[in-house]
Structure 1
């Protein structure tokens, strides 16, 4: 039997470099071991590619070692066949982990025994919502505090045990529950928790479902782990359709046609590069007046006045405005917040205030479906371009299709007319 053997850390680093240099790697690459030809799926083409590696006609790639044993051989072909049939006993995925304090991301493989029957979904509300959207809510055995406040999810997880905060877990309780995996954010450092979980034989899987740039890849990884591949593609297609709709409408705008926008975070006079509203401004045809800011920063109100935004979008959620999101019965608190912003000292001559273009938007509209959030933003920035787009209808479509629920509540204020 002809084999290729590698010392594993060198194997991964070398293959990643080779894949990039050869042009095989892309943002659409399915980052699961077994995707030997580095496309967006695992199929018979990967079997053939492995044969080429063994025969010396194909270059090794980062994900060619399907069974992740440090050797590329016929056993990897058998693993690929099992993956295709949904009969694999384990699956190794690549995690892209970058805590807020880290200057760059690290790539860390994790192997997960299959099938997965129980999950501690500790990725805030995003993990539980993703599992519910995939129809896997019965696998959720633990969540973090406050998830039950999300009205959209309450019916699915109302009796699920809580095991602490997003960044402060009750490890004793988690170990008692014995989940098959723990699902967590990739934006926090859980190295201490990982060590404890590893000793108990529980894999820690870190994925981000809330970042538009990584949504497709991260969602696919979970879908393949849970053998929910078709459902995952439906989620991805929904996002792609509505994101592309916005992109197509704003692509030819000149800079002078793009409004200057102040995207305010949850806290007053605070903005940040990583929040949903800041990420949405440019893709929706606006100019972010604080684009140069990395991370989160307090803003001098005089600096906002100096930049004179034409639009202000304030992000919120129920901790800051209780009457927001799914359970809101009216828009009075959102309206009051918009009024408070317009009444800030010295802001009466600001373009956004003079023209009453101050908007409030719940981050629950973003969650793991940023296309919905961006639909609100795009319509506010360019009402004439999006007069036929209805963010509420788009939101309702997602809720009905993926959670089996009808839209209710108040996510954005004020809403604009649909023609």
Structure 2
């Protein structure tokens, strides 16, 4: 301990992060920035010497005290030699993971996609049935052991695969899965991996769990670079310049409320959600509700109710959905319909890791002068090629958007 004053005084100290920054919620991140490094050892030393206020995350070994043992734990995390890693997952749960993690099961596709981004897909031992069936986007998982899916899990099969961890959504509770796995010693981590607002934090945590911090940072830098580009074009627009948008989710007259990625994305793209007063996920409304609010744009995510995405090149189903919207008598005098500003946009381009492409499409539609030089296909292709390792040309294959003039081929 005699060397601590020298350490604390000789090194430049980074103060704790502001509330606007991404705080990596892993115990050991003493100075509450977005990484664990030597500065956290220094900061912990200063806490021990009463030179800094204690932070919760400085308790690296999560024993309720901040001591030199926490400095040792931080050093082990930096070296990748820790035997345990304690973090706060997206459900606010404090979870301790036994390290190293070699086997993971996933009950949805989002963790599988994230693991592929991290170049850690070899750690996956079981996947959900929809990942197995999605041979266009997940070809290498077509013969993997199946664990059912999130709404109909095969917990017995998941346990048989002997995973170290399982990843479940944070936004939705699945106690049958969580309790069943935890009862036999499987660590459950709850991460959504679909929301633009939380994706950066979640993939960074996965990077630490699987010793893929550099891969996580590479993706984050790429995504934030594109988001900064989009936001710089939208920055400074007044509320009056934001067009009124009705975002329809999957079925007729189900609007995007504020509690989902659709609202989040259209606002970033410079639109005004006409149903922003609805704070839920979605719920049925009437055509008269839409007509009364008179949107300037209508964007529809066809979801599973119309064939689109990576596994088809035929935009007919998207065209049919758009034609149905254009033909609704109650919407005949709505500005979006009169001006032909009705667009289809696939869910594939709205989830967390691919959201930059979907947001770029909407920004071009809503603000053609400001955002006309954005290239959503370039963003999409970079993601598919660089981070997913797929040989898939998004300019000639797949159906992701539709408009009879701007996107007649679905891309």
Whether TM exceeds 0.5 here: the answer is: yes
Of 386, 399, 408 in structure 2, the residue corresponding to residue 410 of structure 1 is 399
Verify the 8 A CA contact 2:302 2:321 in the aligned structure 1.
Answer: no
2:42 match: 48
Residue aligning to 1:309: 295
Answer whether contact 2:137 2:310 (CA < 8 A) is retained. no
SS at match of 2:268: coil
Matches within 5 A, 1:249-398: 249-271=233-255, 272-295=257-280, 296-317=282-303, 319-322=304-307, 324-367=308-351, 368-398=353-383
Counterpart position of 1:79: 73
Q: Is this contact kept in 1: 2:132–2:143, CA < 8 A?
A: no
Q: Report if aligned partners of 2:249, 2:301 keep a CA contact under 8 Å in 1.
A: yes
Matched, 1:167 2:156: no
The answer for the alignment partner of 2:126 in structure 1 is: 142
Distance 2:20 2:267 in 1: 23
Structure 2: stretches of 5+ with no match in the other structure: 3-15
Structure 1 residues 169-197: Cα deviation after superposition (integer angstroms, max 9, x where no partner) = 22211111110100111112234433332
Deviation at 1:321, TM superposition (A): 1.0
| Cα separation, 1, equivalents of 2:314 and 2:218 | 32
> How many angstroms does 1:225 deviate by?
0.8
Cα shift at 1:401: 0.7
SS in 2 for 1:312: strand
Equivalent residues in 2 for 1:154-193, closer than 5 Å:
154-193=138-177
Do the aligned residues in 2 keep the contact of 1:125 with 1:150 (CA within 8 Å)?
Answer: no
> For the Cα contact (< 8 Å) 1:120–1:179, is it kept in 2?
yes
Per-residue CA deviations over 1:357-398 (Å, capped at 9, x if unaligned) read: 111111111223211111111111112222212211210111
Name the CA distance, whole Å, in 2 between partners of 1:343 and 1:392: 29
Q: Secondary structure at the match of 2:89?
A: strand
TM-score normalised to the size of structure 1?
0.88
Aligned with 2:58 (options 64, 69, 91) = 64
Q: Deviations over 1:85-141 (max 9, x none)?
A: 1111111111131xxxxxxxxx2110111111110122x221111111111111111
Deviation of 1:53 (Å):
2.0
Question: Structure 1 residue aligned with 2:28, among 19, 26, 34?
Answer: 34
Cα offset for 1:152?
Answer: 4.7
The match for 2:206 among 205, 222, 225 is 222
1:232 — aligned with what? 216
Q: How far apart are residue 26 of structure 1 and its match? A: 4.8
Distance in 2 of aligned mates of 1:277 and 1:312: 12
TM-score, scaled to structure 2: 0.89
